[in-house]
Amino acid sequence: MNASPLISAADLAAQLGDADLLVVDCRFELADPAKGAREYAQAHVQGAVHADLDHDLSDLSKPGLGRHPLPDAAAFSAVLARWGWTPSTRVVAYDDAGGALAAARLWWMLRLAGAREVALLDGGWGAWKQAGLPVEAASTPRAATSVAIDFDASGIVYTGELRELRKRGEVLVLDARGAPRFRGEVEPIDPVAGHIPGARNRPLSENLAADGRFKPAAELRVELLAAIGAHAPDTVIHSCGSGVSACQNLLAFEIAGLAGSRVYAPSWSGWISDSGNLVARGS
């Protein structure tokens, strides 16, 4: 892999079978949480393991931290050990939602754990199928490893810190949800509609070209700098509904060379779990 957080289908295909490569299928659908596992069982990139957003990349038992709370480092260590991961393993994650469900989430979590050889398959499952590259239905378990990672807490924002940073006017919250949800016109998932006061909207769909791949880095850079205005990239905090699709905006910033932004892990569903937090609607 190179320094880019993206890898093309052709480049990944050329590396299949490498002993130090781990491919992870992260397909997931919010309306049907079991669908990703079913589709993985029908066909997946040759040699890939499956990551379940609800069970491998979240800890749904944690209250008040949004719909997809981050798991503890020990729990994520156990997942990585089951996959046969080591600190020298190169990881490629993919889904069929432009990275939003939930490949970018895995990319972010691995980065928090100190991994640097981790990339997203550009175009995801769709690009792989369109190219006619090797798939399989069988799942061959990898040899388990011993893993003990820690998360870099500086890359994660929780509600208490966000409140303080907002009071001091030091951050910009960038919301990855679609514009109607951001404005509070519709809310198909969470019990309260709207957005965090002062937030701006950058729908994650705007990061992708018509073919489902990410826009070129230079194009993304222009658009993202326009979206954040006078704010420096390292003062940007990404949010969404539950802290999952926000990671796709974070990934877009990294592709564009705008390093240092962070993710508000509880996101909107965590923000509204505290009735004392203000809610904004409209543009």
Active site residues: 240
For residue 23, which phi and psi values (nearest 5 degrees)?
A: -105, 130
- Structure tokens that stand for 188 in this block: 């198909």
